[in-house]
Amino acid sequence: MKQSVLNGERRHDLDGKIVSLLFYEPSTRTRTSFQQAALKLGALTVATENAKEFSSAVKGETMKDTTRIMNAYHFDAVVIRADYEGAAEEAASVSDSPIINAGDGAGQHPTQSLLDIFTIYEKFGKIDGLKVAFVGDLKYGRTVRSLCYLLGKFKDVEVHFVAPDSLQMREDILEYLKESGIKYELHSDINEVAEIADVFYMTRAQKERMKEGEEFSPDGYRITEALLKKIRKEAIILHPLPRSNDFNEIPEELTDDPRILIFRQAENGLFTRMALLKMVIE
Ligand code: CP
């Protein structure tokens, strides 16, 4: 898909197909790249950008009923970003057409993890044996949870979770990694892993999901000039974006460091979502 887009090919894989994009939470990358992916493959889209406000969810309609309606209108796939965990699963339980989880609250963001793993693979030519450090708010960051799930499918991967105690990775993912035979360690400062990680996966504090009393101080969870001097030159720094202005986990002035691949990572979202739509619809 990447070569095809870069070569400017006009594709017809999904000519005549129509994809529904139902977004209950804000999105720049996931919504736009899914829409563009559908168009690039010849499909059309019907998009609801702010379903929380402008769909009948306002009137109390459930996810199951909304999905039944999407089925009634014969969409070929429904892409859903919801504001609570388990929403996509709920939709899938009543759907005849494919449901794609585009993020469900603090639960999972599986299509993000596909573009993440593709970006890592593009750089290293492998996933096995890599050391991956996840940094920041790991309790509410759904992209980290999904990428851990994928990493569990590979061999000899080592995972380092760098977060304050109150925002550390939740037990379900730690349990899953254990069952998958993946070694992991918990840390409280990025400096502890600066010289060992191949991949630094930075995250923003998910302020919108934090409970009263939960706070995040960015010290120890940011990329700084001093830290870049310690990080190996072959390592890469990723972030699902958006990066936060308040916490500055990857400061604007460091964006051009060649190890920071955040915009190539986002671009890969287009290609992986094209591949996914083709696989589930064609
Ligand atoms: N990474 C990501 O999901 O970004 P958006 O919230 O902008 O879609």
- The model's pLDDT over 131-156, given as tens digits with 9 standing for 90+, comes to 999 999 999 999 999 999 999 999 99
Q: Which CATH superfamily is domain 2-105+267-281 in?
A: Aspartate/ornithine carbamoyltransferase (3.40.50.1370)
> Tokens 């990493």 sit at which residue?
151
CA distance 77 to 14: 11
For a mutational test of ligand 1's pocket, the pick from 21, 28, 104, i.e. the residue with the most ligand atoms closer than 8 A to its C-beta, is 28
Distance 90 CA to ligand 1 centre (A): 21
Q: Is 29 a catalytic residue?
A: yes
3-state secondary structure of 71: helix
The active-site residue out of 31, 109, 123, 142 is 109
Q: Are strands 77-82 and 44-48 parallel, antiparallel or unpaired?
A: unpaired
Average predicted confidence (pLDDT) for the chain: 96
Q: Is 211 a catalytic residue?
A: no
Domain limits, the chain: 2-105+267-281, 110-250
- In CATH terms, are 2-105+267-281 and 110-250 the same topology? yes
Q: What percent of the chain has pLDDT over 90?
A: 91
3-state secondary structure of 240: coil
**Computed from CA positions of residues 36, 209, 237, 149, in that sequence, does the dihedral angle turn out positive or negative?**
negative
What class, spelled out in words, does domain 110-250 have in CATH?
alpha beta
Q: What is the mean pLDDT of residues 255-265?
A: 98
Q: Is 187 a catalytic residue?
A: no
Position 137 scores a pLDDT of: 93
Ligand 1 binding pocket (C-beta < 6 A) is 27-30, 103, 109, 112, 240-242
CA dihedral 20, 108, 90, 181 (to 10 degrees): 130
Q: Is 11 a catalytic residue?
A: no
Give residue 216's pLDDT band: very low, low, confident or very high (50, 70, 90): confident
pLDDT per position as a tens digit, 150-198 = 999 999 999 999 999 999 999 999 999 999 999 999 999 999 999 999 9
CA distance 70 to 74: 7
Is 90 exceeded by the pLDDT of residue 214?
A: no
What region does 276 belong to: left with phi over 0, alpha with psi -120 to 50, or beta?
A: alpha
188: amino acid identity, one letter: S
- Ligand 1 nearest atom to the CA of residue 25, by list position: 6
What would the two tokens of residue 43 be? Answer: 């499909």
Spell out a b/e string for 118-138, using b for 16 or more CB atoms within 10 Å of the CB, else e: bbbeebeeebeebbbbbbbbb
Cβ-proximal residues to 219 (8 Å cutoff; 6+ apart), any chain: none
Is 90 exceeded by the pLDDT of residue 209?
A: no
Do the Cβ atoms of 186 and 168 come closer than 8 Å?
A: yes
pLDDT per position as a tens digit, 51-86 = 999 999 999 999 999 999 999 999 999 999 999 999
Give residue 225's pLDDT band: very low, low, confident or very high (50, 70, 90): very high
Q: Is 109 a catalytic residue?
A: yes
Q: 67 φ, ψ to 5°?
A: -65, -40
Position 41 scores a pLDDT of: 98
For a mutational test of ligand 1's pocket, the pick from 207, 241, 249, i.e. the residue with the most ligand atoms closer than 8 A to its C-beta, is 241
Nearest CA to ligand 1 atom 1: 240
What is the reported pTM? Answer: 0.96
Position 210 scores a pLDDT of: 87
Distance 257 CA to ligand 1 centre (A): 22
